[in-house]
Structure 1
């Protein structure tokens, strides 16, 4: 294959006819856009067939120094067609490569340095507020905050803002005010309309309600609807968590419950074709409120709560069970009130290669807590006994006796 080569005089290298190596890199013309001789050599190798067509009888060109100015002038004057075609193609290649490169947004005098995130984001084209991509991102952000029960101030957190800018610099987070007064109410109205449509398609709706008090000592009443679709699919909807600062007497509870259900099922208070079944616990005020409900309401007692009351009353009559429960509670209180004892218990479980069981205390409003407390005491009675035995203080002797009693009773539980 014919080839072009520049052979310096000092080299005095004899090239064989079969060798196809380039001895000196050809330098491109000034307007070609090639920044080095290696770029031009790479292009020539990729278009070797065209080069052979332009130079059918190539001859070695001797040069006393390492530049290609004479070669450039030779091609420009004696091979004008090839020179113009090559220049045009290289200019198109350089123009296309410049379009793909990002705009230099670095500050003057900072060339080659990494720019800050704030500088990069400030030069990014932001999506408009009414852009479909912005609206879709706002919707998903609102759903995430509602589903995960995140605070609305999340959009103002520095770490979250930096995280979102890294994922998508073109997206601008909504303000807390816009989220509070626009995005969340809009999502609430859309979901409410969808739920109301589903509730209107059924003839029977089951309502569960209960009262609870927050840590701030504020009273609330929760209302949840349960329906069964035509496809035999059970669906649950939390209709309301109503704030009830007033007295929890029968009249106030009945009125609040009916108002909450009416806001979702307009015909629930008057239309007798829509049957509402209210399931609640056995509290006296709730039972009295259910008797004041309209005719199409029917009250039912929660079976699980009724069963729990039976078990609770039965345990009071069983003296042996009360002794075990009391001893378990004393042991749990001892370890919960002493960080030193808790640390010692964990170390004892690790030394004895026992499972890491945690002691749980019973709670009146958590029905399974008594069983979980006894079960945990029975599984850790040996470790607890060892920990209390190593504590030599006089007050802990009573705890040792309780622990022995639990160990002795665990086999019969």
Structure 2
């Protein structure tokens, strides 16, 4: 350097000139009329154009020929902003708050590659432990799908304003989906779980026990439900509904062929028992299925013990037969309950009578169902 030299952290033009100290934003250079002033791209600032905002600690400055800042370059992502001094630092401050590579920005306060500490509680405090947690969009979406299925919520629930607000509060990074998307997610999860269950039922060596029942709805439509019971590799009893379908009627032929089609669809051949209630049509349906299973070669002792009668249905028949001894008394109580429940005004009048008699019980009277003996007990117990 000719007339400029650096001594002990100061910059001067000659020995007699006053030293000019460094600042946090960079060294202060000589006035622009100096013969040694660098070009307009020199990252420095003049004494008359100080940048005192702390945001300049994260930017590199480019000066013009008059020593004024014209360009600011982000030290993290390299993005450039034109920032004349008259505009202030609002633009570069806004960028710093959302810079994807600045670790302390508002939208990147937790680095995408960095995990946070989480306290994992399992059962009791003794089993609690410290672990690492990282937000995962895929896992969050799967959990939302399980919520919709497990809680039997409508698909439009994901678009409810209160639910959207709740998710934005607990995790702003979560990208919510629309009802059509969650519908596809539920169907996709069903197909995945179905494939897993089919693999277990076909490739493993355990046998499957089944229970089935048929009924007619208020719309005069017949339905059948088929449930599979098996023991998994961890020796835990599992119960899975493998079919819920509409059938033509309650005849033995309808029931037998519907169950057979379900066996073929799931590729189930190793059947141990089939549990049904004590209806004549079920006896004939089991005989049909016994012949089919023997032809497949998956039976035990030629399916001699394939048919298992429902103990609950047997108990219901026993109790119903015993209640016939007091049929007249139960019939009178049933008619009285029907009278009370026939209209809101009668029900209100009945409650007023209860209050006048100073009966402390707050429960209302219940009406029994002829096919469930325990409902008759509850009706008698409420009187």
**1:233-248 matches, cutoff 5 A:** 233-244=236-247, 246-248=248-250
State how many pairs are aligned.
Answer: 261
Structure with the larger RCO, 1 or 2 (CA within 8 Å, 6+ apart): 1
1:218 Cα shift?
3.1
In 1, Cα distance between the equivalents of 2:26 and 2:57? 12
Q: Does residue 148 of structure 1 match 2:151? A: yes
Of residues 317, 327, 333, the one that matches 1:309 is 317
Offset of residue 304 of structure 1: 1.3
Aligned to 1:359: 365
Paired with 1:354 and 1:194, the residues of 2 have a C-alpha distance of 54
Q: Secondary structure at the match of 1:206?
A: strand
Query: Given the alignment, which residue of 268, 275, 285 partners 1:279?
Result: 275
Which residue in the other structure is 1:23 paired with? none
CA root-mean-square deviation? 3.3
For residues 94 and 355 of structure 1, the distance between their equivalents in structure 2, rounded to whole angstroms, comes to 76
Which residue of structure 2 lines up, in the alignment, with residue 251 of structure 1? 253
The answer to whether structure 1 residue 198 and structure 2 residue 200 are counterparts is: yes
Give the alignment's TM-score, normalised by structure 1: 0.55
Q: Could you say what secondary structure the match of 1:276 adopts?
A: strand
Decide whether the 8 Å contact of 1:206 with 1:278 is kept in 2.
Answer: yes
Q: Deviations over 1:335-377 (max 9, x none)?
A: 2123234334445656736131221111123331011101111
User: Aligned-pair distance for 1:315?
Assistant: 2.0
Structure 1 alignment gaps of length 5 or more: 1-76, 104-131, 269-273, 378-413
Determine the C-alpha separation between the residues in 1 that align with 2:19 and 2:363.
89
Q: CA deviation at 1:101?
A: 8.0
**What SS does structure 1 have at the residue aligned with 2:238?**
strand
Shift of 1:203: 3.0
C-alpha deviation, 1:301, in angstroms: 0.9
CA separation of 1:331 and 1:247: change in aligned 2, threshold 3 A: closer
Contact 2:25 2:57 in 1 (8 A): no
- Write out aligned runs for 1:166-245 (5 A): 166-180=169-183, 182-199=184-201, 200-229=203-232, 231-244=234-247
Q: Which position in structure 2 is the counterpart of 1:404?
A: none
Q: Deviations over 1:312-355 (max 9, x none)?
A: 12322x1xx21321122122112212323433444565673613
Q: 1:176 to 1:327 in 2, by over 3 A?
A: same
Q: Is this contact kept in 2: 1:152–1:179, CA < 8 A?
A: yes
Tell me the distance in 2 between the aligned counterparts of 1:138 and 1:149. Answer: 16
Residue 335 (structure 1) aligned with residue 340 (structure 2): yes
**Is the 2:276–2:308 contact (alpha carbons within 8 Å) kept by the matching residues of 1?**
yes
C-alpha distance in structure 1 between counterparts of 2:142 and 2:330, whole Å: 51
Against the structure 1 CA distance between its residues 216 and 138, is the aligned structure 2 distance closer, same or farther, given a 3 Å change threshold?
A: farther
TM-score by length of 2: 0.59
Which residue of the partner structure matches residue 39 of structure 2?
none
1:55-66 mapped onto 2 (5 Å cutoff): none
Greater share of strand: 2
The CA distance in 1 between the partners of 2:205 and 2:350, in whole Å, is: 56
**CA contact under 8 A between 1:248 and 1:285: conserved in structure 2?**
yes
Give 1:86 shift: 8.9
Matches within 5 A, 1:257-272: 257-264=259-266, 266-268=267-269
Contact 2:226 2:244 in 1 (8 A): yes
Helix, strand or coil: the match of 1:212?
A: strand
